[in-house]
Structure 1
């Protein structure tokens, strides 16, 4: 399985600064890694498989060496090391994952641990749908405002508000394109779209997690773009 670094190729295309790691974030991540290095098996595995050290010639203090190397790692290498630990250390793994995710939230890092991988909160591909909404004409300003608020809320971990804004954007685009008034549920019934689309929005069952907020933000942005491209006539 490719590492974090290999999967994302140091991507720098997105407007959101994914490729940075502050000193404070680095320090806090190290503070969670350090206690795990009391496990000699894990420490040896990090030296051997991650840093590729010649163990026969290695005479330094293991933890001190890893600490010094950790300070030099690029942002993607830091996250690759955390993924390496997730895949090679089973003791108290849930506690470790939760503590790292808590740090990501508090330090506003744009990543989360899912399973045993670190993933972006939102990818450059997904941002293309959102950016497309931002490029719509001024008539769709209410739609743009809601998608912007949805994105801002999502990045600030206000997931309920993000979902509400994403759905509100669909409501607004339906009002503008089809010249109708009402709530999202009533509007969805009245517009000429595929029944499966209608059922999706009418039967939503959403948890207030970042995964759900991300899904709704991207899905609603794509649906807004679909409505405009298919039904809007200037």
Structure 2
């Protein structure tokens, strides 16, 4: 985890890679294109005809880029220069805008299920806000979700402990080398617990008692109170998040951790607004 990330200087949008692709993700995606697409194509070639790779490159040239086929790099008449064509694509790829890269990823994913699967693994490892679903690139982290997290992380002297828990939750979620979804969920719910105890004016009390105290102050809706009690209970029961692991526990996923971070951030923002913090 980089220093700028640990102290909250990198925007959440950048950390979760929404509307952006950093160098690590770009390199990983290009490697997947080479390994899972180009290098897996057959090298067999009929006499004076393109190989499977050459035909595939010609398809990219005319269907994705929309170029005239007589302008593709050639070794001789009707034989595509695979090396020079891939080099052209590489130069374009590393200069392209983030959304152009996803256009290209989607184009390839519609042609190769194996590529879509390996590409999704790369996207998850680099904490991208997108996944390939049924051959289409789908945004899984919305602008609204990012805004909720960023708003909850705004510096507030009264809520330093809340911010500490939220930043830890984001760090555990966004650690590319060793993501810790279990502890991310734990920190997210701990942030909610922290602000609840603060508003309830009982720093050593229980979460349920804090919500009851909050209800008396700001008229917390009964369904909302039950919902967060249920979420708090989930962190006690699932995956050994707040207690020791058992053999039956299910390992939390990126989606689980992101849901908790966004949901807890939204609830924190709600409580801050209602309690005028």
Q: Same fold (TM over 0.5)?
A: yes
* Structure 1 position 152 matched with structure 2 position 171: yes
Partner of 2:162: 143
Count how many residue pairs are aligned between Structure 1 and Structure 2.
Answer: 217
State the secondary structure of the residue aligned to 1:191.
helix
SS of alignment partner, residue 163 of structure 1: helix
User: Is residue 29–residue 122 contact of structure 2 (8 Å, CA) maintained in 1?
Assistant: no
- The SS at the match of 2:131 is strand
Separation (CA, whole Å) in 2 of partners of 1:104 and 1:152: 17
- Residue 6 of structure 1 is matched in structure 2 by none
| Per-residue CA distance 1:45-72 (angstroms, 9 max, x = gap) | 4222211122366562264354123312
- Taking the aligned partners of 1:13 and 1:187, their CA distance within structure 2 comes to 29
Aligned partner (choices 21, 24, 28) of residue 23 of structure 2: 21
Of 64, 68, 87, the match for 1:54: 68
Cα-to-partner distance string for 1:143-194 (whole Å, 9 max, x where unaligned): 0001100111111132111111111110000000111344445544553221
Distance in 2, Cα, partners of 1:140 & 1:13:
19
Pair 1:190–1:118, CA change in 2 (3 A): farther
Q: Residue 161 in 1 paired to residue 188 in 2?
A: no
Aligned partner of 2:194 among 149, 172, 183: 172
How far off its partner does 1:78 sit? 2.9
Whether the aligned pair in 1 keeps the contact of 2:120 and 2:132 (CA below 8 Å) is no
Answer whether contact 2:199 2:214 (CA < 8 A) is retained: no
Structure 1: segments with no counterpart, 5+ residues: 1-11
Deviations 1:94-113 (A, max 9, x none): x433322333455x353442
Matches within 5 A, 1:1-234: 14-16=13-15, 18-22=20-24, 24-29=27-32, 30-35=34-39, 37-38=41-42, 43-55=57-69, 58=72, 60=74, 61=80, 63-72=82-91, 73=93, 74=96, 76=98, 77-89=100-112, 93=113, 95-106=114-125, 108=126, 110-115=128-133, 116-118=135-137, 122-156=141-175, 157-180=179-202, 181-185=204-208, 187-188=210-211, 191-192=214-215, 193-204=220-231, 208-232=252-276
State the TM-score, normalized to the length of structure 1.
Answer: 0.75
1:159–1:208 contact (8 Å) kept in structure 2 = yes
Superposition RMSD in Å: 3.2
Q: For 1:48 and 1:160, how far apart are their aligned partners in 2?
A: 46
Higher Rg of the two aligned structures: 2
Report the 3-state secondary structure (helix = DSSP H, G, I; strand = E; otherwise coil) of the residue aligned with 2:190.
helix
Greater Cα shift, 142-151 or 125-134: 125-134
More moved, 188-197 vs 224-233: 188-197
CA gap 1:81/1:65 in 2 versus in 1, 3 angstroms: farther
For structure 2, the 5+ residue unaligned runs are 1-10, 43-51, 75-79, 239-250
